Amino acid sequence: MNVKKDEKGFSTRSIQPDGMEQDGHGALVPPIYMSSTFVFPSAEAGGARFAGEERGMIYSRLGNPTVDALEHAVAGLEGGEAGLAFGSGMGAISAVLMALVESGDHVLCSDGLYGCTFGFLSMMKRKFRVDFSLADLSDEAAVRKAMRAETKVVYVETPINPTMKLVDLEMVARVAHECGAQVVVDNTFMTPYLQRPLEHGCDVVVHSATKYLGGHGDLIAGVAVGRKAFLDEVRMSTLKDIGAVLSPMDAWLILRGLKTLSLRMERHCENARQVAAFLQGHPKVQRVRFPGLDDFPQGELAAKQMEGPGGMISFEVESLEAGRKVMDHVRVAKLAVSLGETTTLIQHPATMTHSVIPAEVRQGEMGIADGLIRLSVGLEDVEDVIKDLEQALEKI
C-alpha cells in the first residue's frame, strides 16, 4: 500500500495530527461535538450530502467531527490513507472482516487469536458458512500450504496474544497477495509507535483503542486504518448498518491519550524489560515469553519489524493452582482483563480472555498452557511491581 511519508516525528504528529482543523474560536484542543444530528443549510444540501455529492455532517452514526479528528490522527500514525473509528475493538474487527468476506470464503489466521475474535469467526462459520483455520504464520511453507483458493483474508496478530509468538508481516503480505488475499493485522499489542504493518505491505490495521491508544483504562473503542476506498465502503455498510459507532466523548479521550503515546510506550517497554528479567531469574517461573529478552527465539524478526518489545509478558508457573495463588496475592498489579493502560494488570488466559476457545485448540494449536499468566506491565515504579510479584510468587 502507498504509505504516506511525513517528515515530522511521531510525537509531533501524535500531538498535532495533520489536517486537524481549529474551530471558529481557535480552540487548541478540538471540541467534543456531542450532537446526534447536524442541521442542513438547505433541503438541496441535505440531499447532496446523502448522495455523497457534497461533504458535510449528516448524523453521528455516519460521521462526527470529533470522531473524524481521531480517525485522521490514527491513520497518520499508522501511515494509512484513512481511518475509521468504532465503539470497540471487536466492532472494528467484525466490521472489517464482514466487509471482506462472503459465504463460501475462507479466513486464514495466526495460530493464536484474541478469544472474542476466535468467537466471532466461529459464529461466522456456524451461521454464514465463512470458514476459518489457524496456521503457523511464522513459517512461509506453512502459510503457502494453508492458503486455499477461497482464502480472501489472512488475519494476523503479532505478537500473538498471549503466547508472544511473532509473524513475519512482510512475508505474509507477499504470499497473501500472490494468492489474491488481503492481510488484516491486529496491532493492539504494539501500537503504531512500535510497529506499522502497512509499511510491511499489509492492507488493513485494526486496533482495540481501549488499550494503549486510549491508554488510561477509561473507555472501550476500536479503530481500523487502510485504503480510503475500502474504509469508505465499511463506513457506509457494516459500520452504518450494524452500528458499532464511537461516542465523540471517547474519541476526544483517545485524542488526549495519543498525545503521550510515545512517552507511555517507552516507559511500558522499559518497565516490562525489568519485570521480564526478574521473572526469568525466579525459580518458581518455568518460562517467560517477552520479545525483549536476549534469548527470545525470534529476535531477528523482532528487530526487523518492531521498534521495541512492548509492555506485554506471558510467564508460566507449574500449574493452574500455582497461577491462581500468584493472581490472588498480587496487590500493586490488579487482577483484571484488558491491557495497555497505566495500571499493571494480571490475568489468566485459559479461564478468562481465551476461555471461549475449546481446550484442545487452546492447549494444542495455540500453545496456551493452563499455567500461563499474562501480565500487562503498567507505568508504576517498576521496583514496586517487581516486589509485588516477588511476594506473590512466594505463596506458591
Ligand X SMILES: Cc1ncc(COP(=O)(O)O)c(C=O)c1O
Does 191 engage in binding with ligand X (CB under 6 A)?
Answer: no
Q: How far is the CB of 43 from ligand X (least distance, A)?
A: 39
Residue 93 or 326 having the CB closest to ligand X = 93
Q: How far is the CB of 91 from ligand X (least distance, A)?
A: 7
- For 217, residues 6+ apart whose C-beta sits below 8 A from its C-beta are 338, 341, 342, 343
Does 314 engage in binding with ligand X (CB under 6 A)?
Answer: no
From residue 30 to residue 59, what is the string marking binding to ligand X with x (rule CB under 6 A)?
A: ------------------------------
- For 24, residues 6+ apart whose C-beta sits below 8 A from its C-beta are none
Residue 161 or 305 having the CB closest to ligand X = 161
Does 224 engage in binding with ligand X (CB under 6 A)?
Answer: no
Backbone phi and psi for residue 118, each to the nearest 5 degrees, phi listed first: -60, -45
Does 213 engage in binding with ligand X (CB under 6 A)?
Answer: no
Determine the Cα–Cα distance for residues 139 and 184; give it in Å rounded to an integer.
18
The angle at the Cα of 368, spanning 142 to 191, to the nearest 5 degrees, equals 75
Among 14, 60, 66, 88, binds ligand X (CB under 6 A): 88
HSE-up (13 A, CA, CB side) for residue 327: 24
Alpha helices (H) along 213-290: 228-234, 240-242, 248-258, 261-280
Among 90, 146, 246, 253, binds ligand X (CB under 6 A): 90
Does 192 engage in binding with ligand X (CB under 6 A)?
Answer: no
Part in contact with ligand X (CB under 6 A); list of ranges 34-42, 82-90, 255-263, 366-374: 82-90
Please state, as a whole number, how many other Cβ atoms lie within 10 Å of the Cβ of residue 254. 27
Does 261 engage in binding with ligand X (CB under 6 A)?
Answer: no
Side chain identity at 203, as an amino acid letter? D
Determine the Cα–Cα distance for residues 10 and 6; give it in Å rounded to an integer.
9
Part in contact with ligand X (CB under 6 A); list of ranges 8-16, 24-32, 84-92, 271-279: 84-92
From residue 138 to residue 177, what is the string marking binding to ligand X with x (rule CB under 6 A)?
A: -------------------x---x----------------
Among 110, 163, 188, 247, binds ligand X (CB under 6 A): 188
- Burial of 75 per CB tally in 10 Å (0-12, 13-18, 19+): buried
Q: Which residue is associated with the grid cell 503480505? A: 173
Looking at the annotation, which residues are catalytic?
Answer: 61, 114, 186, 211
Among 68, 81, 186, 341, binds ligand X (CB under 6 A): 186
